[in-house]
């Protein structure tokens, strides 16, 4: 299979803004699926609501655009009804760890066989750039004009609090790593969560003074480094994989 087979070309161009990070994650997911050679009829993609959630409509496989926050339980239902399917959840930080946070806790705890790709742009992008549970402390958003007063949710901590776990952090600058961890997440039997550090130029970056998506992308280049191996938790600014399989 070619990566092009996983994309609904008749729906291009996407609704994503020029310079948006989501397209990179979407394309790297298609590359990873092609690399695995998975037939489209053995795949399902589920998204929630948000800019990232629009991805469900662009993959050339069966997909569900679920209600806000409910991508994980819908995906679990599909997986239980047809365990032979590879079920991928592709959605935003607000959707998966904000409104959908409770589902994340329990699907992770029960190690449900899903690959979850979380576009972490640190805000509610689609609705204008409101502060999310992932907004870095001190960061200015539409609803925190003086900077967020709160520490962001520790997604890695939540996932790795389960005895059996698989967590990866990736970024839209480090695309080879991004593609590799998406591939591993899809292959892993059990709950695999990929946090992709992404950016939103129009509803977040402009407010912070960035002139372009490219300028914002360079902050990922300087702000994150790849950590080899899977021992111990990832520090702030580290990309890599943390797993425990027994």
**Which residues here bind ligand TPP, judged by CB under 6 A?**
49-52, 68, 92-95, 119, 121, 123-127, 132
CA gap 120, 192 in Å, rounded: 16
The CB-of-246 to ligand TPP minimum distance in angstroms stands at 33
Interface residue with Mg ion among 48, 53, 92, 190 (CB under 5 A) is 92
Interface residue with Mg ion among 48, 108, 125, 213 (CB under 5 A) is 125
CA gap 186, 221 in Å, rounded: 25
Matching residue, tokens 């292959």: 187
Q: Does 113 bind Mg ion (CB under 5 A)?
A: no
Q: Does 47 bind Mg ion (CB under 5 A)?
A: no
Per DSSP, helices labelled H in 70-192 are: 71-81, 93, 101-109, 155-160, 175-187
Considering only the stretches 70-78, 86-94, 148-156, 221-229, report the one whose residues sit in contact with Mg ion under the rule CB under 5 A. 86-94
For residues 38 and 121, which CB has a smaller minimum distance to ligand TPP in the complex?
121
Residue nearest to Mg ion (CB): 92
Tell me which residue of 161, 137, 180 sits closest to 233, measured CA to CA. 161
Q: Does 93 bind Mg ion (CB under 5 A)?
A: yes
Interface residue with Mg ion among 24, 121, 156, 203 (CB under 5 A) is 121
For residues 68 and 109, which CB has a smaller minimum distance to ligand TPP in the complex?
68
Whole-angstrom CA distances from 93 to 40, 42, 47, 96, 116 are 26, 26, 12, 5, 11
For residues 6 and 26, which CB has a smaller minimum distance to ligand TPP in the complex?
26
Whole-angstrom CA distances from 35 to 4, 6, 114, 138, 224 are 12, 11, 18, 40, 26
Considering only the stretches 35-43, 68-76, 84-92, 155-163, report the one whose residues sit in contact with Mg ion under the rule CB under 5 A. 84-92
For residues 68 and 164, which CB has a smaller minimum distance to ligand TPP in the complex?
68
């Amino acid at each position: 299979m070619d990566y092009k087979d996983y994309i609904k070309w008749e729906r291009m161009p996407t609704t994503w803004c020029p310079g948006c990070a989501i397209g990179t994650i979407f394309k790297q997911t298609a590359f990873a699926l092609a690399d695995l050679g998975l037939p489209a009829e053995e795949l399902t993609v589920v998204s929630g609501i948000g800019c990232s959630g629009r991805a469900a409509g662009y993959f050339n496989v069966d997909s569900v655009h679920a209600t806000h926050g409910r991508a994980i339980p819908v995906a679990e239902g599909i997986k239980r009804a047809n365990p032979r399917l590879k079920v991928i959840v592709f959605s935003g930080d607000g959707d998966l760890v904000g409104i959908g946070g409770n589902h994340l806790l329990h699907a992770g705890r029960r190690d449900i066989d899903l690959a979850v790709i979380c576009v972490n742009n640190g805000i509610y992008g689609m609705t204008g750039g409101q502060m999310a549970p992932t907004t870095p402390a001190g960061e200015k958003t539409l609803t925190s004009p003086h900077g967020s007063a709160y520490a962001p949710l520790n997604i890695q901590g939540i996932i790795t609090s389960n005895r059996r776990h698989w967590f990866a952090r990736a970024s839209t600058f480090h695309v080879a790593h991004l593609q590799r961890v998406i591939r591993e997440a899809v292959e892993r039997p059990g709950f695999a969560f990929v946090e992709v550090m992404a950016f939103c130029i129009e509803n977040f970056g402009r407010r912070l003074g960035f002139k372009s998506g490219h300028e914002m992308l360079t902050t990922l280049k300087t702000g994150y480094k790849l950590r080899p191996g899977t021992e111990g938790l990832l520090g702030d600014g580290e990309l890599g994989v943390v797993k425990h399989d027994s």
